[in-house]
Amino acid sequence: MSFYMPAEFEKQQAAILIFPERPGSWGYGAEPAQKVFAQIINTIALHEDVYVIVNEKSRPAAEKLLNKTDRIKLLDIPTDDAWARDTTPTFVRDTDSGRPAGISWKFNAWGGEYDGLYAHWEQDDALAEKFCQKAGFDCISAGEFVLEGGSIHTDGEGTLLTTESCLLSPGRNPAMSKQQIEDTLCGYLGCKKVIWLPRGIYNDETNEHVDNVCAFIRPAEVVLAWTDNKNDPQYELSAACLETLENMTDAKGRRITVHKLPIPDIPVRVTEHDLAGYEFEEGEDTREVGERLAASYVNFFFANDIVLLPQFGGENTLSDKRALDIMRKLLPEREIIPIDAIEIIKGGGNIHCITQQIPAWEARV
């Protein structure tokens, strides 16, 4: 039996989200974030099923804010936070039957004892297997191999994107060489070639996940987070990624077309009001006023026929429109839906980080 990871732009049967409630990630009782999560869930549910993971504390808010439809399915599973991309299963397809199965990676809160973002992550580590059990999917255990779903991106045709800054960080799999990590990825995900981008988005606390800096929009074609401002710390990071992509071919030997998707012109930062709303527990990474958040338009989510695109508002209204225009030109066959994502970025990630796709049951052609 062999498996491969489909591209995110392929047909999906469902999406997964976790309703937010962690006080150290989502300020003011998580109410502002819950409204945005609900908007995203209700929008996706117009196009495919959505599994929403809740617990005793978050279920009442979910029941209140979510539309009453058979497409939205609440699952009671305890979690530590709401980053579904990193803690729910990474789905692959059986090469012969086309049936999806979920991979359960080892999760250690983005760095474990070395530089993890919270002290207790046992529930999040157990989530992928519990989700597969409750939702009725086969589960493939990756054992002690540490990985988050946001650290990988595929074209569905054998090419995988990741960043050296994340997968080679001391808090992930320090006993493994780069080649051993690459071989492990190819073994579980059925990929033939791994493209290692050197860096991600500046100040990304995940050690620079690839899903914030670069994403496939179709085979041999990516969007890359960009800035023309050479004084911005992001410039050197994005320029290094561009150089790698321009000197690389994919698994099928094709040159990769790179479309620049500029980051917000004005950095998104933590305000005094934001900081007052958090409640951090012991051992949890904290925030400070003026801290630059890793805002990027690349952190979008494909669902059937649509793309949910982050928007940051305020001083970045023109930046938002520019990103919207670029994505509409690049993906004319899809509806690009702008989502006010400021309450999500305050948690540390964005729309792609809080979503996970389940591919349709479809034999490979």
* pLDDT the model gives residue 74: 98
| Residue of 223, 222, 220 lying closest to 254 (CA atoms) | 220
Give me the active site residues, please.
Answer: 353
Listed in sequence order, the residues at least 6 apart from 350 whose beta carbon sits closer than 8 Å to its beta carbon are 212, 295, 296, 299, 310, 341, 344
Domain ranges within the chain, ordered by starting residue: 3-359
Q: b/e map of 67-81 (b: 16 or more CB within 10 Å)?
A: eeeeebbeeebebbb
Q: Token pair of 259, please?
A: 């479309």
pLDDT band at 133 (very low <50, low <70, confident <90, very high): very high
Phi then psi for residue 257, to 5 deg, are -80, 125
Averaged over 66-94, what is the pLDDT?
Answer: 98
How would you classify the pairing of strands 153-154 and 138-146? Answer: unpaired
Q: pLDDT exceeding 70 applies to what percent of the chain?
A: 99
- The pLDDT tens digits for 162-179 are 999 999 999 999 999 999
Paired residues of 337 in beta bridges:
308
Q: b/e map of 169-179 (b: 16 or more CB within 10 Å)?
A: bebbbeebeee
- The pLDDT tens digits for 136-162 are 999 999 999 999 999 999 999 999 999
Q: pLDDT exceeding 90 applies to what percent of the chain?
A: 98
Phi then psi for residue 355, to 5 deg, are -125, 155
* pLDDT the model gives residue 269: 97
Position 1 pLDDT exceeds 90: no
Position 363 pLDDT exceeds 90: no
Q: Token pair of 70, please?
A: 């058979």
Listed in sequence order, the residues at least 6 apart from 354 whose beta carbon sits closer than 8 Å to its beta carbon are 17, 18, 20, 37, 40, 82, 83, 84, 85, 344
- The pLDDT tens digits for 261-281 are 999 999 999 999 999 999 999
* pLDDT the model gives residue 362: 74
Give me the residue label for tokens 């804010």. 65
| Residue of 302, 294, 214, 320 lying closest to 260 (CA atoms) | 214
Position 204 pLDDT exceeds 80: yes
- The pLDDT tens digits for 41-64 are 999 999 999 999 999 999 999 999
| Residue of 58, 61, 27 lying closest to 278 (CA atoms) | 27
Separation CA 139–CA 89 (nearest Å): 8
Position 348 pLDDT exceeds 50: yes
- The pLDDT tens digits for 269-319 are 999 999 999 999 999 999 999 999 999 999 999 999 999 999 999 999 999
CATH topology assigned to domain 3-359: L-arginine/glycine Amidinotransferase; Chain A (3.75.10)
